[in-house]
Structure 1
Amino acid sequence: MNTVYILHHVHEISENTEDIKLIGVYSSKFKAQISISKLQLLEGFKECPDGFEISEYHIDQDYWSEGYSIIE
């Protein structure tokens, strides 16, 4: 397996605040989609069904290759 699929749920609480949940890591996009179809029936998720995001990641690859600034 060289690729995994990360499932998140993002719920916008206010203009500047989001609640982001890492749901799971799957071996195929199809399996992540099956999880979405089950979760959309549950309390909280059913009120925000469009918040699901599936991202594809390749194993052994950096996805953040730059530094970052600390904002105080």
Structure 2
Amino acid sequence: MTHVFLFSYEIPINEEDSEVKIIGVYSALENAEKALLEYQKCDKFKDYSERFYIGKWKLNKDFWSDGYVTVTL
């Protein structure tokens, strides 16, 4: 296995910010899509299905190598 599929959901906090919640990590895209179909049936999520995301992630790889960035406005 070289990749996993991360299934997540975005929750808006305000007009500019949001928070991402990880629902699950799956070994195959088909498994993540099956979970997505189940969550879309839930009353809590059925009107917001556009906020779900399935991403393919390579194993044994760093994805955040730049470190923190400070922005002053």
Normalized against structure 2, the TM-score is what? 0.84
Alignment of 1:4-19 (within 5 A): 4-19=4-19
* Counterpart-to-counterpart distance in 1, 2:13 and 2:37: 23
Query: Comparing both structures, which one devotes a greater share of its residues to helix?
Result: 2
* Counterpart-to-counterpart distance in 1, 2:68 and 2:5: 25
Alignment of 1:1-72 (within 5 A): 1-70=1-70
* Counterpart-to-counterpart distance in 2, 1:13 and 1:64: 23
* Counterpart-to-counterpart distance in 2, 1:64 and 1:32: 24
When structure 1 is superposed on structure 2, of 21-30 and 61-70 the one drifting more is 61-70
Structure 2: unaligned runs, 5 residues or longer: none
Query: Over aligned residues, Cα RMSD in angstroms?
Result: 1.7
Residue type of the alignment partner of 1:7: F
How far residue 67 of structure 1 moved from its aligned partner, in angstroms, is 1.5
Normalized against structure 1, the TM-score is what? 0.85
**Sequence identity percentage:** 29
* Counterpart-to-counterpart distance in 2, 1:47 and 1:21: 17
Structure 1: unaligned runs, 5 residues or longer: none
Query: Comparing both structures, which one devotes a greater share of its residues to strand?
Result: 1
How far residue 70 of structure 1 moved from its aligned partner, in angstroms, is 4.6
SS in 1 for 2:4: strand
